[in-house]
Structure 1
Amino acid sequence: MAFVGSKKSLVVALVALSALALPVKAQEQTFQIGTSSIGELKYQPGFKHFDYVNPDAPKGGDAKLSTAGTFDTFNPLLSKGDAAVGLSLVFETLLKSADDEVLSSYGLLAEGVSYPADVSSATFRLRAEAKWADGQPVTPDDVIFSFDKSKELNPLLSNYYKHVVKAEKVGDRDVKFTFDEKNNKELPNILGQVIVLPKHWWEATGADGKPRDISKTTLEPVMGSGPYKIAAFSAGATVRYELRDDYWGKDVPVNVGQNNFRNILYTYFGDRDVEFEAFRAGNTDYWQETQASRWATGYDFPAVKDGRVKKEDVPNPLRAAGIMQALVPNMRRDLFKDERVREALNYGFDFEEINRTVAFGSYTRVDSYFWNTDLASSGLPEGRELELLQGLKDKVPPEIFTTPYTNPVGGDPQKSRDNLRKAIALLKEAGWEIKGNRMVNSATGQPMSFEILLASPILERWAVPYANNLKKIGIDARVRTVDASQYTNRARSFDYDMIWNVWGETMNPGNEQADYWGSGSVNQQGSRNYAGIANPAVDALVKMIIFAPNRDEQVAAIKAMDRVLLANHYVIPLFYRKTYWIAYWDKLTHPAAYPEYSIGFPEVWWSKDAK
């Protein structure tokens, strides 16, 4: 499941293990108040609020925030268009994640969930008090409409929910989802993250007098059931969300102590440096730093020195997130189909030198698709992991059994030269040679040339030195930065040679692995199989992960898959940090301790201006 800056996303998997039941009639099925991926749920029936919130936090004041790019729609379902940031303030899901547990979730729109022992279906019971902003109740029809439209209109969600074959109303407040496979414990739980939309609103006439169309982008302020409404906006530039006084769920336990700002205003910027200057000037209130050099030298302005702006280095959000940040060659291009070419390109990336010169040594090289977690493979395979790989021996690179994966190490002229010599040797094996200072195909004479597509100029400080290093061995690597919309469209349609991507993993990988690495997603536009991986060993291991009968079997399959992905050199691993860098003006405040796995911003923060 992908980790995104916003802590929990649609792709977060929640495997239900709890048996805590809601009071129901004796003849009815048992409903659980929540789901947990690891162990028992922390919170018991009747809990008042999450431990990490301030239940007495005042309501009021403003949070002025910023984001990059632009937006052209308030429709949250579509894969097309650029949806406005902050729509999760307007819309709700059936369940809500707890930030002090690893992948636990509790009832929000739904008061409970139930499923049989073979996990062939899942039933959610809606809260009787759940209402839309116009006062109409949230109904099973709304949930079914939202789910069906998600699958119909969004290829990513269609793939994600492909094993859910039917959604039906089975009671006044009950929705049942039926699966075409059994014992996939993830399915009931990812359904808890379905964004629920008001069917009656989308099927009515809009403010322009025309029928609304959920298949199209829209800038009409949408209606939801959530704590905020869209109060004002300037297309592509700003959007202001205002706390609703009539919000139905303010006293639901998962909401107590949250949603405290009266207004949350997002301003869009096309340039990250300009965005920072707006924060520095006090025009925005919160900043997440992503640039090591600025974190080291750019906070010497008066507001930091006198304490009006606070800086924090916070590990919480990354404690349960595996990260693979990488440059991703597109194997749909013939150039990158040969594994030796991809491995050679890794030898051309001198991480240690660039980390020293542009990042003050702040980063660590990523060496696993589950980096920074206990799910990362290391050393040589053993035990059950080894058994799984031996069962696929004819489908995996032989070095998996003999040589632990390591990235090339540079950092000084001699090591850099040695790495480039290794790259040249690998390319020669693959049919390439240097002629006239150019790397060319030995058979055709075609030069090795490709474009590195970026979405932000910030990344150029890493990509340009990499491209320059490749030029030393005759490879024409060109760096091109485009606007966010163009980048998104090209990434969705796989229209690139190489891109920069971050995959985030939770501690409970599941269905999304097929979307990341599976053969079925390689030609599905909108999938996150950006590398173009179609490998039978990976497919087999993905199935083992999804259908693992217990945690030990799942972990063994995850580590085995990690090894297979690394050994095939599908990406050039980059770097990451183990902490978040944040800065904020002292008008904002938060509970004394952050949630164990999150900063909780803006949900559990509040304004000192609030009364």
Structure 2
Amino acid sequence: MFRPRHAALALCLAAAPAMAQETITAHGISPFGELKYPADFEHFDYVNPDAPQGGTMSFRGTLASGTFDSLNYYILKGERAQGLPHIHDPLLAEAFDEPASFYGLIAESLEYPEDRAWVIFNLRPEARFSDGHPITAEDVVWTIDTLKTEAEPYWQITLEDVESAEALDDHRVRVTFAEDAATRDLAATVGQLFVLPKHYYQDVPFNESTLEPPVSSGWFRVEEVDPGRSITYCKDPDYWGADLPVNVGKNNFDCYVYEYFSDTTAAFEALKVGEYLLHEEFQSSIWATSYDFPALDAGWIVREEIPDGRSSGAQGFYMNLRRDKFRDVRVREAIAMMFNFEWTNKTLFHGLYNRSDSFWENSDLQAEGVPEGAELAALEAYRGQLPEDIFTEPAVSPPEWSADSKIDRQAVRRAGRLLNAAGWTVGPDGMRQNADGDPLTVEIVSDSAAFERVLLPYIENMRRVGIDAIYTRVDAAEEVQRQEEFDFDIMIARIVLPLRPSTELRTVFGSKGAKSPGTLNLAGVSDPAVDGLIEEIIAAETLDEMTAHVKALDRVLRAKHIWVPNWYKGSHWLAYWDVFGKPETKPPYTRGVDYWWWDQEKYEALVAEGALN
């Protein structure tokens, strides 16, 4: 395994036999390579350490449900409010100019052996919960044990390799990992958990949704709750960690407000008149045609495209392989073939998007061409379980169709041949049926009115080839529930996978995730080759080894046709009232909004012009 050798790291021999492993004491941890920042760093490079403090940042609430009725971050029950991470602190904080490095927040330092079979977190004695209680090792132990047993399945699967957590004293907690676990990322995984107060949950049930603001460990507190309409978080003036290096230049606003709206049109109109200040646009038609209103023309609102160095996200129409009609890969391929991206992009999106083909789109982790070298070697271990063309053909990408016609005749012919071969032939009514006479019915579920313009032509194309395709519009709450319970044929989703993937892959593509409600394995992938590649990614000892196995996994997943790939752009479309300041350097792996600040002079200028109250 990799052993950090940064000059700032202290290496000491454990008091044990002569052959004992060295114990590494460090201020942070990274899966591969050295940490960028030394132990005595004062702040991250991408912040303004002298940023003014004050003011309010307000957003449109953009959670899938469109509403909320719970402040419990860790359970399936209820619709959690957006912004809850503001009220919680983890043991370690992420650096957004490194792909996967974490530095001490509640934990002052870590100790671990070279094989990372366990980790000791040394907590800062000054750390406090919002009610003034000290944060102790017992709280960390209780958090881990509770998430492993009572949290939604995502967390239970994520922490399945944690064997035990033990308080060594008030400020030292040892976490031991399972003997056969791949341990490269487990210390960082545990370090990212929000620390919860054991004493508070002695009287409050952990597994119930609630709108009662909980005792929490972070910088902000829930200030005001208007269920389904808005939620406000404001700084705790007594927060203990404001001057920590990982917090300097961050969270410069006194309050954050998330405003919820019934639909995107209402939200956009509210932005125009200053009901909230920062808007991320997700609709290309609006971005291309609707930003011509007075506040923008006057320069009061800034319209900006901000690049993002992360993987662009695997957005697509995910097919539920738990249903028999999707078991045959030829059926899935035919369904995907009927989506004409080229026509959609030209006609509906103003040519602003690129077609996705990879689950790690817009990154160096996506498979390309014919496999070779280390990627080919990774695939060879599963040759008997994989289609032969995975080894001989380029990675699967969607075919390109004519942008001038909604339906491409070549697509119809190819899809028809696939469906015939899969046993779905054309019946007397012109629709596909199997040998038992059952129709090939496919329902697409969505709560998005904006997606109708994309889905309805796609539905028509599927019906053209004999698929009994229907579109069902549901409300936001039902969509979330059906997603969590895997109660759908096809559902729209965007899953953003990290540049240093690890245990989260088990919940997205692993067999356990396929069986556990609430995980992101929407397609229900349950395949031994996929499971094996996931475990090899988690266990990879070098970046090159991890990269090769991720590319192999990407190639295998794409060959399974579990989705209809949509589109991507490697940037964020933002529109915001010109009342903010920003650091000169944007962190490459996030939007960077957490490091903006309130500019009082800009605000007063807009008030003087009558733009804002």
TM over 0.5: yes
Q: Secondary structure of 2:415's match?
A: helix
Deviations 1:349-389 (A, max 9, x none): 10000111110011111111111111100000011211222
Counterpart residue number, 1:9: none
Instruction: Decide which of 461, 478, 487 is 1:486's aligned counterpart.
Output: 478
Deviations 1:555-601 (A, max 9, x none): 11111111111111111111111111101001122112311222221
Q: Secondary structure of 1:184's match?
A: coil
- Cα offset, 1:607, TM superposition: 4.1
The one-letter code of the counterpart of 1:426 is L
Q: Secondary structure of 2:451's match?
A: helix
Deviations 1:129-163 (A, max 9, x none): 11112222111111111122212222110011101
Q: Secondary structure of 2:160's match?
A: coil
Counterpart residue number, 2:611: none
Instruction: Decide which of 117, 125, 131 is 1:120's aligned counterpart.
Output: 117
- Cα offset, 1:172, TM superposition: 2.7
- Quote the Cα distance in structure 2 between the aligned partners of 1:548 and 1:49: 30
Larger CA deviation: 410-419 vs 538-547: 410-419
Matched, 1:558 2:544: no
Q: Secondary structure of 1:169's match?
A: strand
The one-letter code of the counterpart of 2:95 is A
Q: Secondary structure of 1:269's match?
A: coil
Deviations 1:203-252 (A, max 9, x none): 2xxxxxxx421111111111212111111111222111111111101111
The one-letter code of the counterpart of 1:218 is T
Judged with a 3 Å threshold, the aligned counterparts in structure 2 of structure 1 residues 433 and 169 are, in CA distance, closer, same or farther, namely: same
Matched, 1:111 2:108: yes
Larger CA deviation: 461-470 vs 411-420: 411-420
- Cα offset, 1:38, TM superposition: 4.1
Counterpart residue number, 1:10: none
Instruction: Decide which of 27, 30, 36 is 1:33's aligned counterpart.
Output: 27
- Quote the Cα distance in structure 2 between the aligned partners of 1:16 and 1:150: 29
- Quote the Cα distance in structure 2 between the aligned partners of 1:96 and 1:349: 41
- Quote the Cα distance in structure 2 between the aligned partners of 1:25 and 1:347: 59
Judged with a 3 Å threshold, the aligned counterparts in structure 2 of structure 1 residues 332 and 187 are, in CA distance, closer, same or farther, namely: same
- Quote the Cα distance in structure 1 between the aligned partners of 2:81 and 2:4: 35
Judged with a 3 Å threshold, the aligned counterparts in structure 2 of structure 1 residues 487 and 88 are, in CA distance, closer, same or farther, namely: same
Instruction: Decide which of 260, 282, 286 is 1:294's aligned counterpart.
Output: 286
- Quote the Cα distance in structure 2 between the aligned partners of 1:196 and 1:244: 17
Deviations 1:241-278 (A, max 9, x none): 11111110111111111111112111111211111111
- Quote the Cα distance in structure 2 between the aligned partners of 1:453 and 1:414: 21
CA RMSD of aligned residues (A): 2.0
Counterpart residue number, 1:12: none
Counterpart residue number, 1:57: 51
Matched, 1:94 2:91: yes
Counterpart residue number, 1:219: 211
Counterpart residue number, 1:179: 177
The one-letter code of the counterpart of 1:65 is F
Counterpart residue number, 2:142: 145
- Cα offset, 1:413, TM superposition: 3.9
CA contact (8 A) 1:91 1:225 kept: yes
Judged with a 3 Å threshold, the aligned counterparts in structure 2 of structure 1 residues 18 and 82 are, in CA distance, closer, same or farther, namely: farther
Instruction: Decide which of 435, 441, 446 is 2:433's aligned counterpart.
Output: 441
Instruction: Decide which of 39, 49, 63 is 1:45's aligned counterpart.
Output: 39
Counterpart residue number, 2:61: 67
CA contact (8 A) 2:580 2:596 kept: no
Moved over 4 A (4+): 15-29
- Cα offset, 1:19, TM superposition: 4.6
- Cα offset, 1:27, TM superposition: 6.7
Instruction: Decide which of 347, 357, 369 is 2:359's aligned counterpart.
Output: 369
CA contact (8 A) 2:138 2:170 kept: no
Larger CA deviation: 87-96 vs 115-124: 115-124
The one-letter code of the counterpart of 1:189 is A
Instruction: Decide which of 213, 232, 235 is 1:240's aligned counterpart.
Output: 232
Question: How many residue pairs are counted as aligned between the two chains?
Answer: 588
Matched, 1:339 2:329: yes
Deviations 1:50-71 (A, max 9, x none): 1111111111111222214111
Match runs of 1:336-415 below 5 Å: 336-404=326-394, 405-410=396-401, 411-413=403-405
Judged with a 3 Å threshold, the aligned counterparts in structure 2 of structure 1 residues 104 and 18 are, in CA distance, closer, same or farther, namely: farther
Q: Secondary structure of 1:602's match?
A: helix
- Quote the Cα distance in structure 2 between the aligned partners of 1:389 and 1:216: 44
- Quote the Cα distance in structure 2 between the aligned partners of 1:135 and 1:16: 38
Deviations 1:68-113 (A, max 9, x none): 4111111122122111111111111011111122211111111112
- Quote the Cα distance in structure 2 between the aligned partners of 1:26 and 1:537: 40
Counterpart residue number, 2:168: 170
Deviations 1:421-467 (A, max 9, x none): 10000000001122345322241222211211113222222222211
CA contact (8 A) 1:37 1:102 kept: no
Match runs of 1:446-595 below 5 Å: 446-595=438-587
TM-score between the two structures when normalised by the length of structure 1? 0.92
Q: Secondary structure of 1:64's match?
A: strand
Q: Secondary structure of 1:170's match?
A: strand
CA contact (8 A) 1:19 1:32 kept: no
- Quote the Cα distance in structure 2 between the aligned partners of 1:408 and 1:595: 35
- Cα offset, 1:21, TM superposition: 5.2
Larger CA deviation: 409-418 vs 562-571: 409-418
Identity of aligned residues (%): 39
The one-letter code of the counterpart of 1:88 is P
Judged with a 3 Å threshold, the aligned counterparts in structure 2 of structure 1 residues 603 and 89 are, in CA distance, closer, same or farther, namely: farther
Judged with a 3 Å threshold, the aligned counterparts in structure 2 of structure 1 residues 549 and 37 are, in CA distance, closer, same or farther, namely: closer
Match runs of 1:209-288 below 5 Å: 211-288=203-280
The one-letter code of the counterpart of 1:408 is P
CA contact (8 A) 1:437 1:474 kept: no
Gaps of at least 5 residues in structure 1 are 1-14, 204-210
The one-letter code of the counterpart of 1:435 is G
Q: Secondary structure of 2:61's match?
A: strand
Counterpart residue number, 1:5: none
Judged with a 3 Å threshold, the aligned counterparts in structure 2 of structure 1 residues 604 and 123 are, in CA distance, closer, same or farther, namely: farther
Judged with a 3 Å threshold, the aligned counterparts in structure 2 of structure 1 residues 407 and 123 are, in CA distance, closer, same or farther, namely: same
CA contact (8 A) 2:52 2:598 kept: yes
Counterpart residue number, 1:206: none
Gaps of at least 5 residues in structure 2 are 16-22, 605-613
The one-letter code of the counterpart of 1:96 is A
- Cα offset, 1:18, TM superposition: 6.1
